[in-house]
Amino acid sequence: MAFFKLSSTSIFLLIHIALFSSFSLAADPTVSYDFKLSYITVSPLGVPQKVIAINGQFPGPLVNATTNNNVVIKVYNDLDEDLLMTWPGIQMRRNSWQDGVLGTNCPIPPTWDFNYTFQVKDQIGSFFYFPSLNLQRASGGFGPFVINNRPVIQIPFAQPDGDFTLLIGDWYTRNHTALRADLDSGKDLGMPDGVLINGKGPYRYNTTLVPDGLPYETIKVDPGKTYRFRVHNVGTSTSLNFRIQGHNLLLVETEGYYTVQQNYTSFDIHVGQSSSFLVTMDQNATSDYYIVASARFVNESIWRKVSGVGILHYSNSKGPATGPLPEAPSDIYNQWSAMNQPKAIRQNTSASGARPNPQGSYHYGSINVTDTYILRSLPPTTIDGKLRATLNGISFVNPGTPIRLADLNKVKGSYKLDFPSAPLNRTFHRDTSVINATYKGFIEIILQNNDTRMQSFHMNGYSFFCCWDGLGYLVREQQRFIQ
348 near ligand NAG, judged by CB under 6 A = yes
The residue within the footprint of ligand NAG, chosen from 188, 282, 331, 384 (CB under 6 A), is 282
CB closer to ligand NAG, 115 vs 316: 115
Look at residue 185 and give its three-state secondary structure. Answer: coil
Find out whether the peptide bond into 160 is cis, omega within 30 degrees of 0: no
Select the span of 171-179, 182-190, 226-234, 336-344 touching ligand NAG (CB under 6 A).
171-179
Partners of 277 in beta bridges: 229, 251
Select the span of 94-102, 113-121, 229-237, 266-274 touching ligand NAG (CB under 6 A).
113-121
159 near ligand NAG, judged by CB under 6 A = no
156 near ligand NAG, judged by CB under 6 A = yes
CB 92, min distance to ligand NAG, A: 18
378 near ligand NAG, judged by CB under 6 A = yes
Side by side, the strands of the sheet bearing 30-42 are 49-54, 30-42, 70-77, 113-119
The closest alpha carbon to 341, from 291, 280, 273, 416, belongs to: 273
325 near ligand NAG, judged by CB under 6 A = no
226 near ligand NAG, judged by CB under 6 A = no
299 near ligand NAG, judged by CB under 6 A = yes
Contact positions with ligand NAG (CB under 6 A) in 416-435? 417, 425
CB 57, min distance to ligand NAG, A: 14
The residue within the footprint of ligand NAG, chosen from 114, 129, 171, 373 (CB under 6 A), is 114
Q: How far apart are CA 394 and CA 87, in angstroms?
A: 25
Q: How far apart are CA 20 and CA 6, in angstroms?
A: 27
In terms of Cβ atoms closer than 10 Å to its own Cβ (0-12, 13-18, 19+), residue 206 is middle
The half-sphere exposure of 19 on its side-chain side, counting CA atoms within 13 A, is 20
361 near ligand NAG, judged by CB under 6 A = no
Q: How far apart are CA 440 and CA 94, in angstroms?
A: 12
39 near ligand NAG, judged by CB under 6 A = yes
The b/e string for 62-84 (b: 16+ C-beta within 10 A; e otherwise) is: bbebbbbbbbebebbbebeebbb
Q: CA distances (Å), 447 to each of 288, 308, 372, 423, 473, in order?
A: 42, 30, 11, 11, 6
Select the span of 3-11, 19-27, 129-137, 202-210 touching ligand NAG (CB under 6 A).
202-210
Rg (CA), the chain: 22
The residue within the footprint of ligand NAG, chosen from 280, 341, 357, 414 (CB under 6 A), is 280
Contact residues toward ligand NAG (CB under 6 A) are 39, 50, 62, 64, 66, 74, 113-115, 148, 156, 175, 177-178, 206, 208-209, 248, 250, 260-261, 263, 280, 282, 284, 286, 299, 301-302, 304, 324, 348, 350-351, 366-368, 378, 417, 425, 436, 438, 450
